[in-house]
Amino acid sequence: MSEDFTPAMRLAEAVVFAAAQPVTARMLANLLPEDAEAEAVMAALARAYAGRGVNLVQAGGGWQFRTAPDLAPSLRKVVELPRRLPRAALEGLAIIAYHQPVTRAEIEEIRGAALAQTTLDLLLENGLITPQGRKETPGRPTLWGTTPAFLAHFGLNHLKELPRREDLLLDPAGPGAGEGGAP
Amino acid sequence: MSEDFTPAMRLAEAVVFAAAQPVTARMLANLLPEDAEAEAVMAALARAYAGRGVNLVQAGGGWQFRTAPDLAPSLRKVVELPRRLPRAALEGLAIIAYHQPVTRAEIEEIRGAALAQTTLDLLLENGLITPQGRKETPGRPTLWGTTPAFLAHFGLNHLKELPRREDLLLDPAGPGAGEGGAP
Amino acid sequence: MEAADALVLKLEGFEGPLDLLLDLARAQKVDLARISILQLVEQFLGVIEGARRVRLELAADWLVMAAWLTWLKSRLLVPQLGPVEEAEAAADILQARLLDLQALRQAAAWLGARPQLGQEVFARGQPEEMTETDRSRLKLDLPGLLAAYLAARRRAGARQRYRPRPMMLFTVQTALERLGMLLGSLPDWASLEQFLPGGLEDGLPRRAAISATLLAGLEMARDGRLDLRQDDKFGPILMRKREAGLNE
């Protein structure tokens, strides 16, 4: 098979293969022996690679080898790398799950720390929480609750399948239980 | 020309072409259709690329396309070159390759000269050597060994392909002796 | 002189004494296994001696090797100085080390002569990344959720730590201020109780106020600003402002 390859074609092939950038016509002209016409060489090379697993294509201002597009599905490997929720988001989500419907101010009180808007946004974007009306108190703050997607994420069929608060916390008193939860 | 290429050959060609690292037999076996014998496919592919500007070689524990060695002078004009390994680095590398796992003190003992930190750094930066645990002697010095990248760098497929010590000593005045390694 | 200079320059090209020894051995152009150690040692010592004449400071390991080789030479030349086996063993060790170094050189040269990736042969310049990373999913698990809930509740709980209501006791500082303000307003001796603030609860608050006022009174008496008097044991403590110019 190599009989068909002229020295100029070999060189062009190696250059395009090794180059980190598409190889321009000017670069080829500088490299190839003077009597070799770069265009003819590249055309012959492209023909040699036609129908193969790798093709010679013109893209990005020069010549480069690319794997044949029809093989992409076989070559592609998808690696799933699920993200973790930041701690604050996970805490907010847990409080909403247990205390829903609950306002942001109430979440902050239960957490004993502020709940950033970005954290709330993150939970919303991921479809884990949803507004559930407003509380009829001054300012009419939004009430938050979990979604069916929340249940699906945790492999739950129903909120009742969450362990009871009483089973989690030593002191079953409500928010502000004081010493109950303290280490 | 493409008539000779079976679908399995096309796929293997694309996989090895696309990969940044040598493609192992296991990876190929996973990819190729079950009835295709990876070994036969690769042999046919290597034949197809014989004598061309780009060759299919076995190195670093897998298959890789590489430019033909005779084209190096022309390619050097186009491709950016990393620094060549200096003599001291090659000697250190040779000791590690033959005596691994080996401590720095042992390397220095064999060379009869100190191994400069810059030399060790150079070998590490190039990914040619790697720590392989510690020696259970006072001070627990680090043991060094070569990496798959070492094999790939020198076009070796296995450490067994290094010449035997007896063969090296057979002809002390042979090629590479004397001035070959001297600065 | 020219020869000595050349020698020094050459010496710097060697990585160590063993390096030089191997080079000298090679110059004998015989198989390393049959080389004359005695001849080699003499050459080495000659080079070191020549080099030292020009450069007094020669690296310690060169001189250590030179000393060892001098010892070896004396044993080989004059065997009756010590057991000859010892010298022969030492010569064997030197020979073995030179052979090791020789083999290593050959190996390094063999590696250096191979087409190296990125030097003589090149891998593909633009590898195609076929791996896609799917980060769209969330990593969530129930234990994590419960741990987060507990952590939040604990943190909130820890914030509401029990703090006893601080006791507002009459301090010496306040007593000092109060005494200073009131002293002039009372004509003559007045009992300590008269200087206490109003509305004191019985018990600790009252006792604290009394002792604070007494301490304040003692401090002011020391400064010469008031006189203190107690006529009987456990009797009332009397205070008055000290008249200007009046001495005890």
CA atoms of B104 and B119, how far apart (whole Å): 11
- Find chain C residues with C-beta within 8 A of A66's C-beta: 128
Q: What is the DSSP letter of C14?
A: S
pLDDT-derived band at C76, boundaries 50, 70, 90: confident
Q: Is residue A123 a contact partner of residue A147, using CB atoms and an 8 Å limit? A: no
Residue of A nearest to C144 (CA): A90
Q: Is B142 exposed, middle or buried (0-12, 13-18, 19+ CB in 10 A)?
A: middle
Domain C-terminal end among B43, B75, B107: B75
Query: Are B17 and C128 an interchain contact pair (Cβ–Cβ within 8 Å)?
Result: yes
Q: Does C19 touch chain B (CB under 8 A)?
A: yes
Which of the residue ranges A30-39, A60-69, B67-76, C108-117 would you say has the lowest mean pLDDT? A30-39
Looking at residue A170, what is its pLDDT?
A: 56
Give the neighbours of chain B: at least 3 Cβ pairs within 8 Å.
A, C
CA atoms of B89 and B91, how far apart (whole Å): 5
Phi-psi category of residue C201: left, alpha or beta, with phi > 0 → left and psi -120 to 50 → alpha: beta
Domain C-terminal end among B27, B50, B75: B75
Q: Is B62 exposed, middle or buried (0-12, 13-18, 19+ CB in 10 A)?
A: buried
pLDDT-derived band at C164, boundaries 50, 70, 90: low
Partners of residue B129 on adjacent β-strands: B146
Tallying the residues shown for chain A, one arrives at 183
Task: For residue A153, tell me if it sits in a domain.
Answer: yes
Looking at residue A94, what is its pLDDT?
A: 92
Q: Is residue B64 a contact partner of residue C123, using CB atoms and an 8 Å limit? A: yes
Residue C1 has pLDDT above 50, yes or no: no
| Type of residue at A161 | E
- Which position has the higher pLDDT, A167 or C112? C112
Phi, psi angle pair for C14, to nearest 5°: -95, 145
pLDDT-derived band at C165, boundaries 50, 70, 90: low
Task: For residue A183, tell me if it sits in a domain.
Answer: no
| Type of residue at B155 | G
> Which residues 26-45 on chain A approach chain C with CB closer than 8 angstroms?
none
Give the residue-averaged pLDDT of A101-106: 93
- Residues A105, A151, single domain; the answer is yes
Partners of residue A63 on adjacent β-strands: A23, A58
Maximal C-alpha separation, chain C: 126
Token pair of C218 as six digits: 């003692």
Looking at residue A17, what is its pLDDT?
A: 92
Handedness of CA B93, B98, B104, B108 (dihedral sign): negative
Give the residue-averaged pLDDT of C20-47: 84
Please compute, for residue B171, the number of CA atoms within 13 A of its CA located in the half-sphere on the CB side.
Answer: 6
B22: CATH: 1.10.10.10
Contacts 24+ apart (CB under 8 A), B164-173: B165/B98, B165/C103, B165/C107, B168/C103, B168/C106, B168/C107, B168/C110, B169/C32, B169/C99, B169/C102, B169/C103, B169/C106, B172/C26, B172/C31, B172/C32, B172/C102, B172/C106, B173/C29
Handedness of CA C37, C42, C43, C45 (dihedral sign): positive
Regarding beta strands C131-134 and C138-139, do their DSSP bridges make them parallel or antiparallel, or are they unpaired?
Answer: unpaired
Query: Are A17 and C162 an interchain contact pair (Cβ–Cβ within 8 Å)?
Result: no
- Residues A28, A97, single domain; the answer is no
Give the residue-averaged pLDDT of A33-44: 84
Q: Is A69 exposed, middle or buried (0-12, 13-18, 19+ CB in 10 A)?
A: exposed
What's the pTM? 0.60
- Residues B113, B159, single domain; the answer is yes
Residue C9 has pLDDT above 60, yes or no: no
Interface with C, mutate which of A10, A80, A107 (most C CBs under 10 A): A80
Residues 6+ apart with CB under 8 A from B144: B96, B100, B101, B102, B103, B104, B107, B129, B130, B131, B132
Regarding beta strands A77-80 and C131-134, do their DSSP bridges make them parallel or antiparallel, or are they unpaired?
Answer: parallel
Token pair of B29 as six digits: 């076996």
Task: For residue A81, tell me if it sits in a domain.
Answer: no
Q: Is residue A97 a contact partner of residue C145, using CB atoms and an 8 Å limit? A: yes
Q: What is the DSSP letter of B177?
A: S
CA atoms of B93 and B146, how far apart (whole Å): 8
Looking at residue A1, what is its pLDDT?
A: 45
- Residues A48, A96, single domain; the answer is no
- Residues A161, A96, single domain; the answer is yes
- Residues A92, A128, single domain; the answer is yes
Regarding beta strands B129-134 and A83-84, do their DSSP bridges make them parallel or antiparallel, or are they unpaired?
Answer: unpaired
Task: For residue B180, tell me if it sits in a domain.
Answer: no
Which of the residue ranges A107-116, B35-44, B142-151, C72-81 would you say has the lowest mean pLDDT? C72-81
Residue A173 has pLDDT above 50, yes or no: no
pLDDT-derived band at C81, boundaries 50, 70, 90: low
Task: For residue A108, tell me if it sits in a domain.
Answer: yes
- Residues B97, B157, single domain; the answer is yes
CA atoms of B118 and B124, how far apart (whole Å): 10
| Type of residue at A44 | A
Interface with B, mutate which of C23, C98, C106 (most B CBs under 10 A): C106
Q: What is the pLDDT of residues C113-132, one digit of tens each?
A: 888 888 888 888 888 777 77
Of A83, A86, A64, give the one whose Cα is nearest residue A16: A64
Q: Is residue B96 a contact partner of residue B122, using CB atoms and an 8 Å limit? A: no
Residue of B nearest to C113 (CA): B176
Which of the residue ranges A103-107, A108-112, B78-82, C239-243 would you say has the lowest mean pLDDT? B78-82
- Residues B36, B101, single domain; the answer is no
Which of the residue ranges A176-180, B26-30, B122-126, C222-226 would you say has the lowest mean pLDDT? A176-180
Task: For residue A181, tell me if it sits in a domain.
Answer: no
- Residues A63, A11, single domain; the answer is yes
Residue of A nearest to C141 (CA): A154
Query: Are C121 and B152 an interchain contact pair (Cβ–Cβ within 8 Å)?
Result: no
Residue A171 has pLDDT above 70, yes or no: no
Domain C-terminal end among B44, B75, B106: B75
Task: For residue B40, tell me if it sits in a domain.
Answer: yes
Give the residue-averaged pLDDT of C21-29: 83
Query: Strands, E, within chain C: which ranges?
Result: 131-134, 138-139, 190-191, 226-230, 237-241
Q: Which of A64, A77, A90 sits opposite C148 (nearest CB)?
A: A90
- Residues B65, B113, single domain; the answer is no
pLDDT-derived band at A14, boundaries 50, 70, 90: very high
Of A16, A51, A48, A52, give the one whose Cα is nearest residue A31: A16
Looking at residue A134, what is its pLDDT?
A: 92
- Residues B67, B128, single domain; the answer is no
Looking at residue C161, what is its pLDDT?
A: 57
pLDDT along chain B (183 residues), means of 10: 74 90 86 82 93 92 92 82 86 94 92 88 89 88 91 90 86 43 36
Token pair of B105 as six digits: 């003190």
What is the CA angle C2-C5-C6, rounded to 5?
90
CA distance C114 to chain A (A): 19
**Cα separation values, B24 from B37, B59, B120, C118, Å:** 14, 10, 29, 20
Q: Rounded mean pLDDT of chain C?
A: 80
Partners of residue A84 on adjacent β-strands: C139
Handedness of CA A143, A148, A151, A152 (dihedral sign): negative
Task: Report the complex ipTM.
Answer: 0.64
Structural domain span for residue B60: 5-75
| Type of residue at C187 | P
Task: For residue A63, tell me if it sits in a domain.
Answer: yes
Q: Does A104 touch chain C (CB under 8 A)?
A: no
CA distance C42 to chain A (A): 54
- Residues A94, A154, single domain; the answer is yes
Q: Cα-Cα-Cα-Cα dihedral of B159, B165, B169, B175, to 10°?
A: 0
Of A89, C128, C103, A14, give the one whose Cα is nearest residue B168: C103
Query: How many structural domains comprise chain A?
Result: 2
Q: Which of B87, B110, B153 sits opposite C117 (nearest CB)?
A: B153
